[in-house]
Amino acid sequence: MQPRDRPSPASPVLFVHIPKTAGTALFALAAKVYGRIPGKVDSCIFRLPLNWDASDEDIDLVGLLAEHKGQPIRFISGHCSHAIRNQTPFDPITISMLREPLARVVSAYSNMRRDPKNGYHQSAIAMSLHEVLQQRTIPELENGQVRRIAGLPPNVGPLNHKHLEIAKNNLDQDFAVVGLTERFDETVELLCVHLDWPRKGYMPWNVAPKSQTDLEITSETWALLKERNALDMSLYDYAVERFDRQIAILQPGFDRRVERNRSYNKRWYRHWHQWGVAPLRNIKRVIRRRSLLGR
């Protein structure tokens, strides 16, 4: 299959959501793009019922889509891997997000510890990050991005360069856009170009409380982090180069559009905080106030 330079916007979008890469923020943006009612996830958006430790084979996607009622599916999202494409009854436009690997692992481990619903919660609270990495208890924390882009189940043992090459090939052949967490504004503009998305405001979602992100990590743990995620670091560098090439093709206007969208988003963000944090609550307050005044 040849890489998609400008895929048809009519094709359903498959978002391979790698945990802790700002995927929730991207999903919220997609919900606005494809939705009809503000604040509500439209029926044309399908969320895969997959926990962090689940395999794509754990669900019958064809059956779930067949049972789906409402508008035709336009956006599928979930903590899946590239392999979920094999279950789709259509050829989706596939996108994903990558993050600097060491920062992602620390963030993911913190999430596992604080979220009882996370499939790796019990392992994370029972062991330190160093112990988890040393004993290879949680696959998501060891080259987890290569695992998902390569389409590997979570229970596959230690990875090697063959798996990295599979991930790179999948990235080039099947992913229209692979964004970068650290360059989210540029990622959004790239998606707007490739998917014909309109301009919409966006904001951070599912960000860890600062008090829960300050892990004490020794130099020995950092060294082990790098060793266990060396393939992820190579994949991330490869994705950055691809990202830059895609942007270079769209210059000189791309950077100007990013700055315009960034300014627009700052204004939208301030307005959202002023009026949209709890709009229903604000409306109820107005109604209650007017009723007390006899209006």
Identity at 290, one-letter amino acid code? R
- The domains of the chain are located at 13-99+143-208+228-250
Task: Quote the pLDDT of residue 279.
Answer: 47
Three-state DSSP state, 23:
helix
Diameter of the chain by CA atoms? 73
**Among all chains, which residue has been given the structure tokens 């882009």?**
149
Sign for the CA dihedral angle at 48, 51, 56, 60 comes to negative
Identify whether the C-beta of residue 204 lies closer than 8 Å to the C-beta of residue 22: yes
Per-residue pLDDT of the chain (295 residues; tens, 9 = 90+): 333 343 444 689 999 999 999 999 999 999 999 987 766 788 899 999 999 999 999 999 989 888 887 778 999 999 999 999 999 988 999 999 999 999 999 999 999 999 999 999 999 999 999 999 999 999 999 999 999 999 999 989 899 999 999 999 999 999 999 999 999 999 999 999 999 999 888 876 555 555 545 678 999 999 999 999 999 999 999 999 999 999 999 999 999 999 988 888 888 766 665 554 444 444 444 455 555 555 4
The CA distance from 277 to 189, in Å, is: 25
Picking from 57, 215, 62, the residue whose alpha carbon sits closest to that of residue 141 is: 215
Task: Enter the tokens of residue 132.
Answer: 């988890």
pTM of structure: 0.85
What is the structure's pLDDT at 214? 60
Nearest alpha-carbon partner for 23 in 260, 187, 230, 173 = 187
Q: What topology does CATH give the domain 13-99+143-208+228-250?
A: Rossmann fold (3.40.50)
What is the amino acid identity at position 243? F
